[in-house]
């Protein structure tokens, strides 16, 4: 097995079969994931059952409320764009499941059918974003919380045009269950968290699901949030994953943002996604944690 650092952040892993990996190999995969929050594993031929079995080594699977499920494997969500569809899923920068009281650990996306070109996914590191802030702004943000929500994206009220296009007419029914989004509470999470796997500080807001800082109005929050969002999307800090047949990318929702490129019109892109449950997030306090991982929240890979 080869583990190679990627240019901005994250690791590319080759020469391993995740379905038959040894305990030592899985330990190295776990360590790379915990360190960077992003791994790209090439050359996988996982069946649906093997994909689920590998994911379950890391925790309980979150059955997605809003995406279309695989007809035979409900634990797998389908992320698909057909040749006649104009909008893709995941175009806008976001962090999956920040709208949950207990945000998901991360997601494993496996390429099943790819366009001849395009369809890359871009990632941004929230470790890096925090580290690039001034000490004064770091201290200010560490004392703050933010409100997150799914209602304006997946719900029935104030739904953006982009989501309307995804679910209506010729675009097909790729996202549904809007009533479930309407029923969700809007959770409050720390703006800077102590990451439960790495112990590092990570900024935990995102452009799509974070509404405003707790105790601030949306209008007061917008200038600072916009500054942070633009800084997070800096191209020279971004990792752009080029998908190939058999690529599986595993990202940590507590340490990254991502955005799927929509530059392959007229071609099909079909992916299988499994999301893994996480734990409650804790605010960062003091310096970098030097101890062991939180055993109640760390991945349990065999």
pLDDT tens digit string along 110-137?
Answer: 999 999 999 999 999 999 999 999 999 9
Q: Provide DSSP, 86-111.
A: ---TT-S-B-TTTTSSS---EEEEEE
Per-residue pLDDT of 10-68, as tens digits, reads 999 999 999 999 999 999 999 999 999 999 999 999 999 999 999 999 999 998 777 78
Tokens of 290: 């030097």
d(CA 212, CA 151): 14
Residue 192 has pLDDT above 70, yes or no: yes
- Distance, in Å, from the CA atom of 205 to the CA atom of 131, rounded to the nearest integer, reads 15
What CATH topology corresponds to 2-276?
A: Double-stranded beta-helix (3.60.130)
Token duo for residue 1 = 């097995």
Strand bridging mode 256-260 / 106-113: unpaired
In whole angstroms, give the CA distance from residue 298 to residue 229. Answer: 28
The top-scoring range by mean pLDDT among 29-43, 75-89, 283-297 is 29-43
Per-domain boundaries in the chain: 2-276
Tokens 């490129």 correspond to 261
Q: How far apart are CA 251 and CA 247, in angstroms?
A: 13
Between CA 100 and CA 280 the distance in angstroms is: 10
Q: How far apart are CA 124 and CA 156, in angstroms?
A: 30
Q: Which residues contact 171 (CB under 8 A, 6 or more apart)?
A: 85, 86, 87, 165
Helix (H) or strand (E) holding 27: helix 23-36
Q: What is the pLDDT of residue 97?
A: 86
């Amino acid at each position: 097995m080869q583990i190679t650092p990627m240019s901005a952040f994250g690791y590319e892993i080759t020469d391993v079969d995740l379905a038959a990996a040894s305990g030592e190999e899985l330990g190295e995969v776990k360590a790379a994931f915990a360190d960077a929050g992003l791994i790209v594993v090439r050359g996988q031929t996982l069946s649906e059952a093997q994909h689920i079995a590998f994911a379950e080594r890391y925790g309980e699977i979150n059955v997605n409320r809003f995406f279309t499920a695989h007809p035979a494997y409900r634990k797998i969500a389908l992320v698909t764009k057909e040749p006649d569809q104009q909008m893709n899923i995941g175009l806008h920068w976001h962090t999956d499941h920040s709208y949950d009281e207990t945000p998901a650990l991360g997601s494993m996306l496996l390429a099943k059918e790819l366009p001849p070109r395009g369809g890359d996914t871009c990632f941004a590191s929230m470790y890096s974003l925090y580290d690039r802030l001034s000490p004064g702004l770091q201290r200010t943000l560490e004392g703050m919380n933010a409100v997150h929500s799914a209602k304006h994206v997946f719900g029935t009220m104030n739904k953006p045009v982009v989501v309307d296009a995804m679910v209506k007419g010729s675009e097909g029914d790729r996202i549904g269950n809007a009533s479930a989004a309407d029923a969700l509470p809007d959770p409050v999470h720390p703006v800077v968290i102590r990451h439960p796997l790495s112990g590092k500080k990570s900024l935990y807001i995102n452009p799509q699901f974070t509404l405003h800082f707790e105790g601030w109005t949306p209008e007061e929050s917008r200038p600072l949030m916009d500054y942070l969002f633009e800084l997070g999307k800096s191209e020279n800090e971004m990792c752009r994953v080029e998908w190939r047949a058999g690529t599986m990318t595993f990202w940590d929702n507590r340490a990254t943002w991502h955005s799927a490129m929509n530059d392959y019109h007229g071609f099909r892109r079909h992916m299988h996604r499994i999301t893994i449950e996480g734990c409650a997030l804790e605010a960062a306090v003091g310096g970098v944690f030097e101890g062991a991982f939180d055993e109640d929240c760390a991945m349990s890979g065999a």
